[in-house]
Structure 1
Amino acid sequence: MAQTDLPLDQLRAYRPSLPEPEDFDAFWEKTLAAAAEHELAARFEPVELPLPGVEVLDVSFAGYGGHTVKGWLVLPAGTREPLPAVVEYIGYNGGRGLPHMHLLWAAAGFAHFVMDTRGQGSGGLAEGATPDPVGSDPAFPGYLTRGIGDPHDYYYRRVYTDAVRAVSAARAHPLVDSARVAALGTSQGGGLTLAVGGLVPDLVAIAPDVPFLCDFPRAATLTDRLPYREIGQFLKARRADRETVFRTLSYFDGVHFAARGRAPALFSTGLEDMTCPPSTVFAAFNAYAGEDKTIEVYPFNDHEGGGPYQQLAQLHWLPGKLRT
């Protein structure tokens, strides 16, 4: 796949004019306040595994609507004092999978909290364990158009709220240093990272890799790949709903959350990425309000972005933020 988006010099200057709802902040304040009415009820059950280097806990907590959300907490073996923590969000249609899939950050000496994504985890390589008990109006298969007729009913309202509550759940464990928590994720996980970075003001760092859920108007018309293509397929049948759809999506656009983020941030993008086109990533990066921000650019990579090279970049960058 050749580079099909804007040239790099134009990407670095790309700042789309995206309408932001006047009640954007009020919408999220009310959403999170309603979630806070439910007890967090974070539970951590030890899991016996033949992995002597780590201790694994099966996590459950109350997310949006008090619904149970699952996760893993992976700690370096023998942890006795609170550690800085990395909260990770998962890519589209992935689940939390099995604990041995999440050893990197514990190996680096940190607590690692992995949030399962409600309703997902049956179409990728890793299974999920969290149902989404909320129904939906007619939608195109996938998650991106579920409840898209109204921001209050939209699927990602629930997921973004779960993601914020996951930070609280991680902080609830006595071996997590609640003052030193970072968030990261790839693709959908990167989009959730941006949302949490805009909604949780005291994170010490965020690292969104090739983030999804950014600059919806451009993404929906630039790429024919899923998941963004779900929007076009939905509107192909529901021709009169375009204005409603993009108004709903404006409450969930990573560009708006980026404009509220202040924590040090390490982004990444692949210039041949047709799943999350680089212009949509740069839209969020250029809007990011924090002064300490960097983007790693991989000119000949698609949606895998930097892959292990980006993980290595994080391993060099993130400890300096978590250990200060």
Structure 2
Amino acid sequence: MHRPRFRLLVLALVASASCLAQSLQLTPVAADGVFPRDQPIAWTVTVVGDAAALGNPRYQIKLNGSKVIAEGTLDLTQPQIRIEAKPLSEPGTLLAEALTTDAANKTTKALGGAVVEPEKIHTVITRPADFDDFWKAQLDALAAVPVNVVLTAGESGHPDVEYFKVTFDNVDGAKIHAQMARPKKEGKFPAVVSTQWAGVYALNKSSVVTNAAQGWLAINVMAHDLPIDEKPEFYKAADAGALKDYSHIGNRRRETSYFRRMFLGNNRAAAYLAARPDWDGKTLVASGGSQGGYQSIVLAALEPRITAVIASIPAGCEITASVHGRANGWPGWWLPPDPAAREATIETSRYYDAVNFAPRVRVPVLVGLGLIDTTCPPTGVFAMTNQLAGPKEVVIHSTLGHKGPHPAHNKRSNAWMKALASGQPVPAKP
């Protein structure tokens, strides 16, 4: 063994671990992150590791995820460290950002969120007068295409579940690809349509098999016109090629947006479940997270047989809000400098924004969100939920962002699914 080299390696690993250990955590002084109007808003700052290694971090406070309304420097030598914001005189969200630089010159951002009167946050996106007419025309175009369903039986990996790969025909010569599972017994079952988060990847068989094992007739729809179970290299090539930045494809005309085909595909899958003799005729749930939550809201708006929605950290909320001084919700359509192209993109977005589908949703909806989510910012999500026309429950994660588990929402989602599976109303909010 070369001991000098070994010692250098150990020292390097220790130094690396030391750098990684330094960070800040911002926690709203109101545990749920909700503050009254005209009351001070603050976050406690917790230092993880050696404060001296972090120097004097800079911070900013942004209104509705965009406009900087305060900034300063943190003194980490103080026994109690807080970031304070002036009271808000109107409903909205605040995002505190603290930037630290470690010994390796790596910058890390710590985030803290807050919201004032979330139930009163209004949308800044206007709904086109012909919104309903446009989407009726798209549904009519879908209806003119034969369903042409093809089921291919496969192995579920569960003794009590039957599994199938499914394809349907879609508009513009496209195909809808999905997977379906059902309990391996006679009977009629509640149904659930699961839609996918963003990206280009294979479907996970367990998503439908788990639901079917719990008594559901379950279908899981691929967001793209791609087979559902190819090797990772296949999806990587598609993501780098024809589907690169797919969420922005065709976004200067309402008839060509990539989401048009995606949304209509979900409708066809839901209609197929509703036409099956093993559906119970009572319960049809739309469920998904992020891009999938976006699709679930849209599906409930366009398919009247949907009876409940479970949407975690939903995307698609105020996707061009930057025009109005707010942070865009994913996919956050980029606005080109050319005035005509810019206006065309904004106009198209109004037909695809979740806030404009929400008034058509009259069934119970469960929404989960994070106050430090910068992918699907909370301002837009609150604005969307406040447009919903039916009962709703919003689960706020005060210290969580977009990635990772959202335990409080997951707990409520499980409670909703358990009640709905047994034909019961959605459970009351605790």
TM-score range, shorter chain: 0.7 to 0.9
The answer as to 2:293 corresponding to 1:187 is no
Letter in 1 for 2:308: A
Q: How does 1:117-196 map to 2 (within 5 A)?
A: 117-119=223-225, 141-196=244-299
Match of 2:181, SS state, is: strand
CA contact under 8 A between 2:196 and 2:288: conserved in structure 1? yes
Match of 1:216 in 2: 319
Correspondence 1:255 to 2:389: no
What secondary structure does 1:12 align onto?
helix
Name the CA distance, whole Å, in 2 between partners of 1:79 and 1:115. Answer: 23
Q: Report the AA paired with residue 149 of structure 2.
A: A
Q: Distance in 1 between matches of 2:256 and 2:168?
A: 21
Deviation at 1:68, TM superposition (A): 1.6
CA shift for structure 1 position 101: 4.4
Q: Is the aligned partner of 1:42 residue 2:149?
A: yes
Distance 1:108 1:219 in 2: 43
Q: How does 1:254-293 map to 2 (within 5 A)?
A: 254-290=354-390, 292-293=391-392
Q: 1: distance between equivalents of 2:165 and 2:128?
A: 38
Distance 1:173 1:95, change over 3 A: farther
Asked whether 1:83 is paired with 2:189, we answer: yes
Corresponding residue for 1:313?
412
Contact 1:202 1:263 (C-alpha < 8 Å) held by counterparts: no
Indicate the RMSD between aligned Cα atoms, in angstroms: 3.0
User: Aligned to 2:206, which of 85, 100, 109?
Assistant: 100
The question of whether the paired residues in 2 share the 8 Å contact of 1:64 and 1:159 is answered with no
Q: Distance in 1 between matches of 2:234 and 2:321?
A: 31
Q: Is the 8 A contact 1:15 1:283 kept in 2?
A: yes
**Taking every aligned residue pair, what percent have the same amino acid on both sides?**
25
Q: Could you tell me whether the CA contact under 8 Å between 2:195 and 2:288 is conserved in 1?
A: yes
Using a 3 Å threshold, how does the CA distance of structure 1 residues 37 and 127 change in structure 2: closer, same or farther?
A: same
TM-superposed deviation, 1:207? 1.0
Change (3 A) 1:48 1:108: closer
> How far off is 1:217 after superposition?
2.3
Aligned to 1:245: 345
Contact 2:190/2:283 (<8 A) preserved: yes
1:26 pairs with one of 114, 133, 146? 133
More strand by share: 2
Query: Is the deviation greater in 239-248 or in 201-210?
Result: 239-248
Q: Distance in 1 between matches of 2:293 and 2:245?
A: 18
Deviates more, 1:7-16 or 1:92-101: 92-101
- In the other structure, the counterpart of 1:12 is 119
**TM (normalized to structure 2)?**
0.65
- Structure possessing the higher relative contact order (Cα contacts under 8 Å, 6 or more residues apart): 1
Report the CA distance shift for 1:287/1:49 in structure 2 as closer, same or farther (over 3 A): closer
Once the two structures are overlaid, the 10-residue window that deviates more, 95-104 or 269-278, is 95-104
8 Å CA contact retained: 1:118, 1:159: yes
Question: Which sections of structure 2, spanning at least 5 residues, go unmatched?
Answer: 1-24, 29-61, 66-92, 94-113, 425-430
Q: Aligned to 1:235, what secondary structure does the other structure show?
A: coil
Instruction: Give deviations 1:37-56, integer Å, cap 9, x for gaps.
Output: 11112222210243324221
SS of residue paired to 1:213:
coil
Indicate the larger mover: 64-73 or 198-207.
64-73
The residue number in structure 2 matching 1:203 is 306
Aligned partner of 2:3 in structure 1 is none
Please tell me whether the aligned partners of residues 316 and 329 of structure 2 are also in contact (alpha carbons under 8 angstroms): no
Q: TM-score, normalized by length of structure 1?
A: 0.85
How far off its partner does 1:204 sit?
1.3
Aligned-residue offset at 1:126: 11
- The structure with the largest alpha-carbon Rg is 2
CA distance in 2, matches of 1:260, 1:9: 26
Q: Which amino acid aligns with 1:208?
A: A
Q: Judge conservation of contact 2:319–2:331 (CA < 8 Å) in 1.
A: no
Q: CA deviation at 1:305?
A: 6.7
Preserved CA contact (<8 Å) 1:74 1:106: yes
Letter in 1 for 2:389: A
Amino acid at match of 1:105: N
Q: Secondary structure at the match of 1:22?
A: coil
In 2, distance between residues paired with 1:161 and 1:200? 10
Per-residue CA shift, 1:193-230, capped at 9, x if unaligned? 111111112211011111111112226865589742xx
Quote the Cα distance in structure 2 between the aligned partners of 1:106 and 1:9.
Answer: 41
Name the residue aligned to 1:116. 222
Q: CA deviation at 1:111?
A: 1.6
C-alpha displacement at 1:253, in angstroms? 0.8
- Matched residues, number: 309
Tell me the residue number matched to 2:167.
60
Superposed displacement of residue 143, structure 1: 1.8
**Alignment counterpart, residue 71 of structure 1, candidates 169, 178, 183:** 178
Contact 1:171 1:178 in 2 (8 A): yes
C-alpha change, 1:307 and 1:41, in structure 2 (3 Å) is: farther
